[in-house]
Amino acid sequence: MLYQRVSKGLFPPEDSGELDATTEAAQGTSFDEMSRLQGRLATILTKDPCIASFTSALGGGGTAGATNQGNLWLTLKPPTERPSADECVESITRHASGIPGMELFLQNPPSIRIGGRNSKALYQYTLQGPDIESLYRNSLRLLDTLQKVPLLTDVTSDLLNRNPEVTVHIDRAKAAPFGLTPAAIENALAEAYNAQQVSTIYTAVNEYWVVLEVLPQDQSSPLDLNKLYINGTHGEVVPLADVAELEPTFGPAAINHSGQLPSVTISFNIPPNGDLGAATAVVERVAHGTMPPEITMGFSGQAQAFQASVQNLGVLLVITVFVIYIILGILYESFIHPITILTALPFATCGALFALWVTGVELDVYGYVGLIMLIGLVKKNAIMMIDFAVEAERNEHLTPEQSIVKACSVRFRPIMMTTVAALASTLPIAIGVGSSAASRRPLGIVVVGGLAFSQVVTLYVTPVFYTYLDDLQAWLGRMFSRLPWSESTDPVPVAGD
C-alpha cells in the first residue's frame, strides 16, 4: 500500500542555476516575425529578478525548416538572491505568458539527461506508423486528450504539418507557345526566392558573394508570386500567373523519423511534487485506448529510462536479498536462521516508504540505492542477536527462548551504538545539507526512516521469529528423521558369513 502511495521519479530536480526554454509561434511564422516575438520575450527576461543572463537563438533546435521555433538558455542569479529553480520556472512562465502569438516551454533540466531526442518538455512518448496521414491524425487526437489530463503539464508535440505552402501547377499548354518548359519555370522560381549565389566579386583584400533574389518587400505574401515575370525564349516577358495556377495549401515543415518509420513525439512535464509513475501510467493507458493497432507506441528518453529503472531496480532488490540469503545460509549452515535475519527487512522497507510518503519526496534512483544500503545496515541488528543466540544454544545448552533473551540483553548496547552512529551520519543528508542536497535527500530519508522504524520494531519482533522458526527447524528435523531412507537398518547376512 505504501509503495502505491509513494510518488516515483527518475532523478530529483536540482538547482543547477540554469534553465532551458523553447519558444514556439504559429506554423508558417516568418523569421522576421519570430525575431520580433523573441525580442519582446528578451525584453521581459531582462527585467526578471531571477535571471542573471541568457542566450537567445532562433531555429528549430534540430527540426529542419522550423522557423517558428526558438531556444533560450537562462543563467539564474546566485541561490541567495532568488527563490528555488522550480519557483523561478513558475515565475518566469507567468511573466512571459502575455506575449500574443508565442508559447514558452520552460524546464529545469535534470542533472543527468538521458536520450538524444530534442523536445520542448522533459518526458517523451513516441508514436510510429507506416501511414503518415493516419499517424498525424491519431497523434493529434491523443495530444488533445492528454492536454486535458491534470497529472500532466506542458503537453505538446513535434508535429509540424500545417506549414502554409503555395503549390504551383504549371499549365504546359499555355507555357509551350512562349518556349517555357517546367524546368525553366522552376529555375526562375529558385533564382527569385532561393537566394542562390550566382557570382563572386573579388577585391584586393576580400571576396563577396553575389546572391540573386527578388527584393525582400516582394516576398512577404503569396500574392507577390503574381508579380513574378519569366523570360521567354522569344524575348518576351511572361507573368507567372499566365502559365501556372497558384494553389494555397498546407504541408509539413519537417517529417520526423524514428528508425525507418515516420514518427510523432509527444512530450510532457509533470507539476511540482508530481508523480512520474502515475503520469506514465495515465499516458500509456490513454494511448492504448486511443491508437489503432498499426501505430507503434512507446516512451523514449527520460520516460523510457524511468520505466526501465523501475523494472530493473525491483529485480535488483530481489537478487540482493537472494544473495544475502545464500551467504547467510553458508555461514550458519542452516536454511532457517537466514530467514530469521531477513525478517527485519520488511519492517525497514515500511519505515523507509513511510518516511518518503510523509515528507512528500519521490522514490527515485537515489532512493533505490538507499534501500539497498538499508538492507545491509538493518540486517546487522538481527545478525548480532542471532549469532550470539545460536552460539549460546549450542555451547551453553540453553533453550531458544533463553538464548535469544540473553542475546538481546548482551548485544543491546552494540546494536544501539551502531544504529545511532548510522542515523547521526545520515540525518544531515535527509535534512538536505550540502550543495547537492536535492539529489541525495531521498537516499538519506530512506536510510533514516528505515533504520529508525526497524530499530524499534526488530528488537521485539526478531526474537519472536527466532523462537518460532527454531521450533519449525526442530519439527522439520523430526519429520526428516522419520523418512524411510533416514532410518538405520541391520546389515543383511551374506552367504558364507
Q: Write the pLDDT tens digit of every residue in 245-275.
A: 888 888 887 788 887 888 888 888 888 777 8
Q: How confident is the model at residue 497 (pLDDT cuts 50, 70, 90)?
A: very low
Task: Transcribe 219-238 into DSSP letters.
Answer: SSSGGGGGG-EEE-TTS-EE
Q: Is residue 489 part of a domain?
A: no
Identity of residue 431: I
Q: Is residue 184 part of a domain?
A: yes
> Is there a single domain that holds both residue 247 and residue 282?
no
> Is there a single domain that holds both residue 2 and residue 28?
no
> Is there a single domain that holds both residue 69 and residue 144?
no
* pLDDT higher than threshold 50 for residue 35: yes
pTM: 0.72
pLDDT in tens, 429-461: 888 765 456 678 888 899 999 888 888 888 888
> Is there a single domain that holds both residue 436 and residue 421?
yes
| CATH number of the domain enclosing 98 | 3.30.70.1430
> Is there a single domain that holds both residue 353 and residue 448?
yes
> Is there a single domain that holds both residue 339 and residue 411?
yes
Q: Is residue 494 part of a domain?
A: no
Q: How many residues does the structure list for the chain?
A: 497
* pLDDT higher than threshold 90 for residue 10: no
pLDDT in tens, 343-380: 888 888 899 999 988 888 888 888 888 888 888 888 88
> Is there a single domain that holds both residue 256 and residue 142?
yes
Domain boundary among 92, 108, 124: 108
> Is there a single domain that holds both residue 142 and residue 226?
no
> Is there a single domain that holds both residue 273 and residue 126?
yes
Q: 201 or 399: whose pLDDT is higher? A: 201
| CATH number of the domain enclosing 218 | 3.30.2090.10
Domains held by the chain: number:
4
* pLDDT higher than threshold 50 for residue 64: no
Q: Is residue 323 part of a domain?
A: no
Main-chain dihedrals φ then ψ at residue 188, nearest 5 degrees: -65, -40
DSSP-based three-state secondary structure for 318? helix
Q: How far apart are CA 116 and CA 249, in angstroms?
A: 33
End-to-end Cα distance, the chain? 72
Q: How confident is the model at residue 493 (pLDDT cuts 50, 70, 90)?
A: low
Q: What is the mean pLDDT of residues 393-403?
A: 83
Q: How far apart are CA 70 and CA 57, in angstroms?
A: 6
What's the pLDDT at 201?
Answer: 94
What's the pLDDT at 200?
Answer: 93
195: left (phi over 0), alpha (psi -120 to 50) or beta: left
* pLDDT higher than threshold 80 for residue 11: no
- Among 455, 454, 459, residue whose Cα is nearest residue 405: 459
Q: What is the mean pLDDT of residues 487-492?
A: 51
| CATH number of the domain enclosing 300 | 3.30.70.1440
DSSP state of 492: P
> Is there a single domain that holds both residue 67 and residue 187?
no
Domain boundary among 251, 267, 283: 251
Q: Is residue 418 part of a domain?
A: yes
Task: Transcribe 247-316 into DSSP letters.
Answer: EEEEE-S---EETTEEEEEEEEE--TT--HHHHHHHHHHHHHHHS-TTSEEEEEEHHHHHHHHHHHHHHH
* pLDDT higher than threshold 60 for residue 63: no
> Is there a single domain that holds both residue 256 and residue 343?
no
What's the pLDDT at 202?
Answer: 94
Q: How confident is the model at residue 407 (pLDDT cuts 50, 70, 90)?
A: confident
| CATH number of the domain enclosing 453 | 1.20.1640.10
* pLDDT higher than threshold 60 for residue 406: yes
Report residue 239 CA to chain centroid gap: 55
> Is there a single domain that holds both residue 190 and residue 129?
no
What's the pLDDT at 209?
Answer: 93
Q: Is residue 491 part of a domain?
A: no
What's the pLDDT at 434?
Answer: 55
Mean pLDDT over the full length of the chain? 83
Q: Is residue 495 part of a domain?
A: no
Q: Is residue 487 part of a domain?
A: no
What's the pLDDT at 299?
Answer: 87
Identity of residue 184: A
Q: What is the mean pLDDT of residues 50-68?
A: 74
Domain containing 170 equals: 163-251
Q: What is the number of other CB atoms lying within 10 angstroms of the CB of residue 104?
A: 21
pLDDT in tens, 85-135: 888 888 888 888 878 888 888 888 877 777 656 778 888 888 998 888 889
* pLDDT higher than threshold 90 for residue 208: yes
DSSP-based three-state secondary structure for 362? coil
